[in-house]
C-alpha cells in the first residue's frame, strides 16, 4: 500500500507519470502494445487498428466538447475532410505519410475554423445546429465535388508509405496507428495542464468570467475547434489508409453521434476517458456478435435478432451512463484506483 508521495523537485511534481508504479504499468502497457501484433491473429489486429483510429478522433472531440464545452455534431465531416485530403494527395501525387497526415490535419483544422466561427455568437444547442449544418454541407460536397472526391465512387487509396517503408496490411498499419495514437494522447495529456488547456476549461465552466480574467473567448474557442478538427483529420487520413477507399458513406451524421457516445461513455473532459470510450464502444458490437454466435446452436435466429440490437445497446448505454455514471468509465477507473490504493484498509 502506498502511504506517501513525496516530491523533491519541480520536475518530479510536473511529471506526467508521477509514481514508480504508474511508470511501471505504463511500461508494461507499452511492451504489450509492441508485442501485440506479433502474437495476435489478423482479426484482433484489425480491431486494434479500429480502436486506435477511434482514440485519435475521440480525443479531438473531447478537447472540443469535453474540455471547452463546444458541442459539435460535425466531427464526421472533419474526419471526411482529412480522409479525402490524404486520399487525394497519396493517389494523385504519390505523397507519403510525412505529407498526407499533416496536410489532412491542416485542411480539417482550416475547415474547423470556418465551422467554429459562429461560436462567438451562439452556444449550446444553437452551436450544435450550426455544426450539424456543416456536417450536411460536407456530405453534400463529398458527393457532388466529383473532380476532388470522386463522387459516389470515391477514391481508391494506395498503401501508406513512409520513405522506403510500405504499410499495406492491417498488421503493418498497426505500427503507424499506435504511434500516432500515442503521440496524440501524450499531447492531449500535456495540453490539459498547460495555459491553453486551462483556458479551454475556463471557457467551458464560465465563459464570461474567463473573458473578464483575460482569456480571449473567441480565439480560445477557435483554437479548440481547429485542434479538434486537426485530430479528426488525422484520424480520417488513417481511416482512409485502413479502408483503402474513401466514399461519402464512410462519414455520415450517425458517425458524429457515435463519437459523442464514445466520449460520454468514456468520460467527458478526460484524456483517458477517450481511450476507454473508444475501446468500449468498438468492442461492444463484437461482444454482441460473439453472444449471437454462442446462442446460434440453441436458437438459430439469434444472429438475426441481435444484429439490429447494436443501435439499441448504444442508446441504452448512453442513457444509462448519463443517469448512473455521468462521468463515464474514467470515473469508475479512478474509484477503482482509489480502492486499491488503500486496500486492504477501508480508510
How open is the CA angle 295-300-303, to the nearest 5 degrees? 70
- Tell me if residue 72 falls in helix, strand or coil: coil
Are 63 and 228 a contacting pair, CB within 8 Å? yes
Give the number of residues written for the chain. Answer: 347
Higher confidence at residue 125 or residue 235? 235
pLDDT of residue 1: 57
Q: CA-CA distances (angstroms) from residue 92 to 95, 99, 149, 155, 164? A: 8, 13, 12, 10, 19
Minimum mean pLDDT among 116-130, 230-244, 245-259, 267-281: which range?
Answer: 116-130
DSSP state of 269: T
Percent of the chain residues topping a pLDDT of 70:
93
User: What confidence score (pLDDT) does residue 326 get?
Assistant: 82
**pLDDT band of 36, cuts 50, 70, 90:** very high
The pLDDT value given to residue 316: 79
Nearest-5° Cα angle at 264, 262 to 265: 65
Separation CA 30–CA 19 (nearest Å)? 17
User: Is residue 133 predicted with pLDDT exceeding 80?
Assistant: yes
> 346 exposed, middle or buried (CB, 10 Å; 0-12, 13-18, 19+)?
exposed
In order of 78, 106, 123, the CA distances from 218 in angstroms are 20, 20, 12
H helix runs in the chain, sequence order: 10-14, 20-39, 42-61, 75-92, 97-116, 125-144, 146-149, 170-191, 195-205, 207-212, 217-243, 253-266, 271-295, 302-306, 309-324, 328-342
What distance in Å separates the CA atoms of residue 205 and residue 183, rounded to the nearest whole number? 27
pLDDT at 141: 92
Instruction: Quote the cell numbers at residue 51.
Output: 480502436
Q: What's the average model confidence in pLDDT over 5-19?
A: 75
pLDDT bin (cut points 50, 70, 90) of residue 305 is: low
What pLDDT is attached to residue 94? 87
Own/partner contacts of 38-46, CB < 8 Å, gap of 24 or more, are 42/170, 42/171, 45/170, 45/171, 45/174, 46/170
Residue 346 binned pLDDT confidence (cut-offs 50, 70, 90): low
- The pLDDT tens digits of the residues spanning 226-260 come to 999 999 999 999 999 999 999 989 999 989 988 99
pLDDT band (50, 70, 90) for residue 281: confident
| pLDDT per position as a tens digit, 172-193 | 999 999 999 999 999 999 998 8
d(CA 130, CA 73): 8
Least confident range of 20-29, 43-52, 199-208, 296-305: 296-305
Q: What is the pLDDT of residue 344?
A: 67
Contacts of 60 (CB under 8 A, 6+ apart): 75, 78, 227, 228, 229, 230, 231, 232, 235
Q: Which residue has the higher pLDDT, 305 or 47?
A: 47
Identify the weakest region by mean pLDDT among 111-125, 199-213, 259-273: 111-125
Grid coordinates in use for 9? 523537485
What is the structure's pLDDT at 179? 95
Amino acid at each position: 500500500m502506498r502511504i506517501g508521495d513525496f516530491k523533491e523537485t519541480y520536475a518530479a511534481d510536473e511529471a506526467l507519470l508521477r509514481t514508480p508504479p504508474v511508470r511501471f504499468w505504463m511500461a508494461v502497457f507499452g511492451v504489450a502494445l509492441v508485442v501485440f501484433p506479433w502474437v495476435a491473429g489478423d482479426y484482433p489486429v484489425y480491431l486494434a487498428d479500429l480502436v486506435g483510429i477511434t482514440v485519435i478522433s475521440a480525443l479531438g472531440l473531447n478537447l472540443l466538447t469535453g474540455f471547452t464545452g463546444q458541442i459539435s455534431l460535425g466531427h464526421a465531416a472533419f474526419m471526411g475532410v482529412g480522409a479525402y485530403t490524404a486520399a487525394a494527395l497519396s493517389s494523385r501525387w504519390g505523397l507519403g505519410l510525412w505529407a498526407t497526415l499533416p496536410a489532412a490535419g491542416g485542411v480539417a483544422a482550416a475547415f474547423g475554423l470556418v465551422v467554429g466561427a459562429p461560436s462567438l455568437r451562439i452556444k449550446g444547442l444553437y452551436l450544435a445546429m450550426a455544426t450539424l449544418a456543416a456536417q450536411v454541407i460536407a456530405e453534400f460536397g463529398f458527393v457532388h465535388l466529383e473532380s476532388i472526391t470522386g463522387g459516389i465512387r470515391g477514391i481508391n487509396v494506395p498503401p501508406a508509405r513512409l520513405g522506403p517503408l510500405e504499410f499495406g496490411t492491417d498488421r503493418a498499419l498497426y505500427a503507424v496507428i499506435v504511434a500516432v495514437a500515442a503521440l496524440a494522447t501524450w499531447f492531449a495529456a500535456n495540453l490539459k495542464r498547460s495555459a491553453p488547456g486551462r483556458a479551454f476549461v475556463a471557457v467551458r465552466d464560465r465563459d464570461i468570467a474567463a473573458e473578464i480574467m483575460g482569456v480571449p473567448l473567441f480565439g480560445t474557442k477557435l483554437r479548440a475547434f481547429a485542434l479538434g478538427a486537426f485530430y479528426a483529420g488525422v484520424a480520417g487520413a488513417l481511416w482512409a489508409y485502413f479502408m483503402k477507399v474513401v466514399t461519402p458513406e464512410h462519414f455520415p451524421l450517425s458517425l458524429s453521434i457515435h463519437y459523442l457516445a464514445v466520449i460520454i461513455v468514456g468520460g467527458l473532459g478526460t484524456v483517458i476517458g477517450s481511450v476507454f470510450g473508444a475501446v468500449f464502444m468498438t468492442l461492444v458490437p463484437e461482444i454482441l456478435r460473439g453472444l449471437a454466435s454462442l446462442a446460434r446452436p440453441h436458437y438459430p435466429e439469434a444472429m438475426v435478432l441481435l444484429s439490429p440490437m447494436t443501435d439499441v445497446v448504444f442508446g441504452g448505454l448512453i442513457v444509462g451512463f448519463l443517469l448512473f455514471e455521468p462521468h463515464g468509465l474514467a470515473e469508475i477507473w479512478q474509484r477503482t484506483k482509489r480502492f486499491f490504493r488503500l486496500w486492504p484498509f477501508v480508510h
